[in-house]
Amino acid sequence: MGTLWHGRFDRGPAEELLAFTVSLPFDQRLAADDLVGSRAHVRGLVRAGILDAAEAGLVQAALDRVEEEINGGRFEYRPSDEDIHTAVERRVTELAGPAGAKLHTGRSRNDQVATDLRLYCRRSLTEIIARVLELQGVLLERAIAAGETYLPGYTHLQRAQPVLLAHHLLAHGWALARDVDRLDATRTRLNVSPLGAGALAGSSLDLDPEGVARDLGFDGPFENSLDAVSDRDFVAEALFDLALLGVHLSRLGEEIILWSTEEFGFLRLDDAYSTGSSMLPQKKNPDIAELARGKVGRLVGNLTGLLTTLKGLPLAYNRDLQEDKEPLFDSVDQMSLALGAMQGLLASSWFDTDRMQAAADSPYLVATDLAELLVEQGTPFREAHALIGGLVRDSIERHVPLAELVAAHPDLGDAAVELLEPGVSVTRRTTPGGAGPKPVAHQLDRFRARLQTDRERS
């Protein structure tokens, strides 16, 4: 009899049941976390007087052996191993005999799987945070290297006002800083140990959930055993954080796609980070950026899928909860790949700063500066806006350069014409957090400091 519950049953499981309910193919990747959790559980059982030192030694040695077998690809799974927890316990019992059979004392797979998944989530989010920080590092380096290069800033994808390239790059950097914050907060909130909750109600044995929690690096044990085994908020939160991070990468990706078109021509991709076409010899395609955009479909899908699974579930553990793993693994894997690829793409691509600046040197992008010049001279803004708007319309309709109309206007004159010189307008964005060289220098310092702090706490 292979099942964990054979005592109560007089027949083994049907093939269809095993085929449908088995989670081993995907939860194998929790093996390392399962072993860490089991070792701490064994130490807890020793403190509780349930295992003596000799028994604990046998079980720990068996766990070491299981680890070696798994890492070496020599672990033999059996058809009856419905999940990684079952497989490990079965093997430990084979290796350690009666002592091994004590491993599961005071523990259910319900608190065990919740523990494993929290451990997995904690280390995966730590890895994701590290990768986000690396991508932010590339954005910072490129922002520093961009110096006072400027390009058009857009609203409605229409040229609006010139902004420093550094400012534009850091806008993406700050969004990623919020992602780091969110991932870190999720990691902190999930750092609670479910071990000791048992199947749902705790135990009659004098276990030591507090000590086990500390042993596993958790901030403390659960408050409520029902909640401990049925809570998957941390998975939903992680999936949300990853989905929003994905949305940010997708927005960055969309701009890389636009900028690398012939129409924009702001960016050239490195050969190693772009793809060709099987038919069109001239093509160089931004596939990384496109997939960064496209993968968000499944990141959002993973989140909505899990929320839908959780909705309406009664307390406490239900097998539905097994559906928490694949979306989580998938979002972590995809995000990890996306971050690495986007980092390489950004680090290796080449900015055509002449094209950027030429696009930003259109006199129409200076219209707001012209209106603000009038405001400085006492004209109410609404009036100034109408006056400059009229000049722009004139210039377009009569095909007269705006500079000529500005020079000829009695309220404008030389100071206004100077604003139309290439590169002048962006220097006028002087307010804190603005797009000009002065505030951007300050912003670079703040971003660098923030990145440093985040690196230290990551």
Binding footprint of ligand ARG on the chain (CB under 6 A): 23, 27, 83, 109-110, 113, 317, 319, 321-322
Looking at the Cβ atoms of 110 and 136, the one nearer to ligand ARG is 110
How far is 434 from 432, CA to CA, in rounded Å? 5
Catalytic residue among 80, 156, 362, 425: 156
Tokens 């604990």 belong to residue: 56
Question: Mapping DSSP to helix (H, G, I), strand (E, B) and coil, where does residue 136 land?
Answer: helix
Tell me the sheet residues that pair with 161.
Answer: 153
Q: How far is the CB of 9 from ligand ARG (least distance, A)?
A: 14
Verify cis geometry, omega within 30 degrees of 0, for the bond prior to 316.
yes
Burial of 2 by CB count in 10 Å (0-12 exposed, 13-18 middle, 19+ buried)?
A: middle
Residue 156: active-site member: yes
Looking at the Cβ atoms of 34 and 255, the one nearer to ligand ARG is 34
From residue 166, alpha-carbon distances to 77, 102, 132, 138, 424 in Å are 54, 61, 18, 12, 17
How far is 85 from 369, CA to CA, in rounded Å? 67
Looking at the Cβ atoms of 17 and 415, the one nearer to ligand ARG is 17
Looking at the Cβ atoms of 103 and 183, the one nearer to ligand ARG is 103
Q: How far is the CB of 109 from ligand ARG (least distance, A)?
A: 4
Catalytic residue among 85, 172, 277, 442: 277
Residues whose CB is less than 8 angstroms from the CB of residue 232 and which lie 6 or more positions away in sequence, other chains included: 117, 306, 310, 321, 324
Q: How far is the CB of 219 from ligand ARG (least distance, A)?
A: 23
H, E, C per residue of 146-185: HCCCEEEEEECCEEEEEEEHHHHHHHHHHHHHHHHHHHHH
Q: How far is the CB of 76 from ligand ARG (least distance, A)?
A: 19
How far is 285 from 411, CA to CA, in rounded Å? 50
Q: How far is the CB of 284 from ligand ARG (least distance, A)?
A: 45
DSSP H helical ranges for 190-295: 209-215, 225-230, 233-259, 287-294
Looking at the Cβ atoms of 84 and 96, the one nearer to ligand ARG is 84
Q: How far is the CB of 261 from ligand ARG (least distance, A)?
A: 46
Tell me the sheet residues that pair with 117.
Answer: none
Do 66 and 37 contact (CB within 8 A), yes or no?
Answer: no
- Residue 55 structure tokens: 């028994």
Looking at the Cβ atoms of 74 and 319, the one nearer to ligand ARG is 319
**Enzyme catalytic residues:** 156, 277
